Structure 1
Amino acid sequence: MIEMNQKVGFLFPGQGSQFVGMGLSLFNQFDSVKAVFKKADDVLGYSISKICFEGPEDVLTQTLNAQPAIYVCSYAALTALKEKWPEIQPAIVAGHSLGEFSALAAAGFFSFEDGLRLVQVRARAMEKAASQNPGAMAAILGLDQSGCIEVAKESGAEVANFNAPSQTVLTGTAAAIQKSLEIAEKKGAKRAIQLKVSGAFHSTLMKQAQADLVAAIQGIKTNPLTAQFIPNVTGKVTSDTAEICDLLGRQLVSSVCWTETMAQFSKLSLTHLIEVGPGKVLKGLAKSCEVPLAVQVFGTAEDVGPFTLAFLGSAPSTQPQV
């Protein structure tokens, strides 16, 4: 059983974790989740629910839709988790890129609605910046981080994500990314793959998007955190409101230091680690980063049974509706 003296961490996924049908099983089982989706549709002024549940995939994967969809589905999963097991409260939260907004909403830094408005601004700003300053991204696998930094320097690319010791994502102009693929292979990378993305996220090509997001952040009400928070840009625990607001903007033009974030989680004597939201990407990255805890995922009604057994030691009293 999860007891008061146990220390739980929550992880929230970012763009790329989306899939058609996400959130639907929780929507069917929890009235509180239905309320989350209705509120989201009202805030956005269109049916993000329909896009999450029905797609089509090419519409869902568009940055303009994927980011609010993942945020809403992550918060919906959090809502279901809190309804079923209110005793599970996070001591610390983190999110991968977009997931930072879910993490901060979970820690009470801003309301669900304000977080969704920020995510909508962020998605629009990133899409606009990508159109005005076209770029690309590439995943470098099987080459250590120092090697990837060298590749970035030699090619003119930038590091978007330090995801794991042997998984780094580069970002920049199309020419720089093409050059980085060639250099990475020469340096012994197992694989160097250009990603299917709409722009050079987490690069200086996103400067205008940063400015737009910062302006939006200045207009929201913030609250003291109810859990510790590790921002992507530093990979260090902070609770300072001004710093968090600054880092949310800087994140768009900075590296996601996920390896460092996972290193911090490893030092915090956590008893449980939960990935809240669609997909299992962060569970895989935690394993690659050798985090000394198995990550339990909670993003669908089908996760209720395994989650109950893993964390509470008994099977659920009712079968989830799927």
Structure 2
Amino acid sequence: MGCRRGANRVLARFRRRIVRARCCAARFLHCVTMTSPRVLLFPGQGAQAVGMGRAWLDRSAEARAVMERADRALAGELPGGASLSQLCLHGPAEVLNRTDVSQPAILAVSAASLAGWLAETGAGSIREAGVVAAAGLSLGEYSALYAAGALSLEDSLRLVLLRGRAMQEAAGASAGGMVALIGASDEQAAQVCAAAVARAEGPGQVLVCANFNAPGQVVISGSAGACAVAAATDGPAAALGLRATPLQVAGAFHSPLMEPAAERLGAALERAPVLAPGCVVWSNVTAQAHSSDAASVRLGLRRQLTEPVRWSSSCLAMARAYPGAEFHEFAPGKTLAGLFRRIDRGVRVVGHDEPA
């Protein structure tokens, strides 16, 4: 009997040591993985593709729960009565690519992948995951505000649904387009805009810089006539040795031609609850951190429709603000990692288009 009790005591001590060792290992791994602050990145319109989010929805209960909430939030609002998840997974592409569909669809997939990633890390919140900031390209700024807790999932989805509808209607009211200038400096892009407006026929021609995506990649936006002049083989872009590629978009986004959409969105934003974010969120318009003031956030989102997206400057500012930070790009796609490599090759971007 005595031998058995002694053996049991030894075994109990051994088990306690194993438990302590496991706890120490868990704390060590937590410290190792949390040595670098984390910044979250979210994609914008154009990242959509039929089947997006499938890997997360197949393998993550947390991602599925978020998508189910998104389906309920927009039930009956989408073409043909389709659910958001149905359009994300099965399309058809011509419906998913509509501005008023792709915007809530991308946000929902981003939110689902964020939930899945947090579950993978074992963190109960972005704060526990070591997140210090979030940013998104154009539409992605709404995903960033959702991730930071400034907007609820339901309010985010309803806002971007309205945003997409308003942009689509504004595009239909005035013929416009967008042109990518490859190899252009910011100054050259401005020169192309001014020259194209001067040469374009018709009253009220508008052409402005709309997206500063990365060094050598600027998108201009405005009236159809001015866009055609800018992209012509004998146009001002060609004269500067630049490649001008017209984009397949519904309208002149991030230009003054979107003012009617900005007015509609502004009214909706005034009614939407905006809370103080749980981490810093960066503004596309200013390339600076949003203040925690709700009115300032609303104004920034309104201005975003008619003013340029300063993504390159935003990324540089974040890299300086968070030296050594690990940047995490969420679904769908991997576009932002590619842009960041052109902006600052010293920054590490981890993609989460699918589970680890």
Structure-2-length-normalised TM-score: 0.82
Where do residues 119-138 of structure 1 align in structure 2 (5 Å cutoff)?
119-138=160-179
SS of 1:253's equivalent? coil
Q: How does 1:194-205 map to 2 (within 5 A)?
A: 194-205=246-257
| Alpha-carbon distance, 1:37 to partner | 1.4
* The one of 81, 96, 113 aligned to 2:117: 81
CA distance in 2, matches of 1:225, 1:261: 18
| Rounded Cα–Cα distance in structure 2 between residues aligned with 1:18 and 1:165 | 24
Report which stretch shifted further, 105-114 or 147-156: 147-156
Q: Which amino acid aligns with 2:335?
A: V
1:28 is aligned to 2:28:
no
For residues 183-205 of structure 1, the C-alpha deviation after alignment (integer angstroms, 9 at most, x for no partner) is: 1111111x210000011100111
CA distance in 1, matches of 2:324, 2:149: 20
Query: Which residue identity is paired with 2:53?
Result: G
- Cα distance, 1:238 vs structure 2: 2.5
Shift of 1:291: 4.6
Question: Partner residue of 1:311?
Answer: none
Matched with 1:208 is: 260
CA contact (8 A) 1:266 1:291 kept: no
SS of aligned partner of 1:136: strand
1:66-145 pair list within 5 angstroms: 66-85=102-121, 86=123, 87-145=128-186
> Who is 2:291 aligned against?
239
> What is the distance in 2 between the residues matched to 1:22 and 1:88?
25
CA positional deviation for 1:121: 0.8
1-structure distance, mates of 2:285, 2:305: 9
Deviation at 1:240, TM superposition (A): 3.2
Within the candidate set 72, 89, 93, 1:53 is matched to 89
Amino acid at match of 2:278: T
Aligned residues: 301
Query: Which amino acid is 1:51 matched to?
Result: L
1:252 and 1:211 map into 2 onto residues whose CA distance is 10
Secondary structure, aligned partner of 2:305: helix
Asked if the contact 2:34–2:130 (Cα under 8 Å) also holds between the matched residues in 1, the reply is no
Aligned to 2:208: 158
Residue number among 184, 189, 195 corresponding to 1:148 in the alignment: 189
Check the 8 A contact 1:110/1:222 in 2, yes or no. yes
> CA offsets, 1:103-136, max 9 Å, x none?
0000111111111111111011001111112210
CA contact (8 A) 2:212 2:312 kept: yes
Residue type at the aligned position of 2:348: A
Structure 1 residue 222, shift from structure 2 partner: 1.5
2:47 maps to which residue? 17
CA deviation after TM superposition for structure 1 residue 75, in Å? 0.4
Is the deviation greater in 231-240 or in 273-282?
A: 231-240
1:240-255 correspondence runs (5 A) = 240-241=292-293, 242-255=295-308
Structure 2 unaligned segments of length 5 or more: list them. Answer: 1-28, 77-82, 198-206
Indicate if the aligned counterparts of 2:38 and 2:328 stay in contact, CA closer than 8 A: yes
Using the alignment, how far apart are the partners of 2:245 and 2:34 within structure 1? 45
Taking the aligned partners of 1:153 and 1:95, their CA distance within structure 2 comes to: 29
Once residues 268 and 119 of structure 2 are traced to their aligned partners in structure 1, the CA distance between those partners, rounded to angstroms, is: 31
State the secondary structure of the residue aligned to 1:139.
strand
Taking structure 1 as reference, are residues 290 and 6 closer, same or farther at Cα in structure 2, changes over 3 Å only?
closer
Larger radius of gyration: 2
The one of the two structures with greater contact order (alpha-carbon pairs below 8 A, sep at least 6) is: 1
Aligned-residue offset at 1:11: 0.7
1:3 positional shift: 4.2
Q: Point out where structure 1 has 5 or more consecutive residues left out of the alignment.
A: 305-322
Look up the equivalent residue of 1:244 and give its one-letter code: V
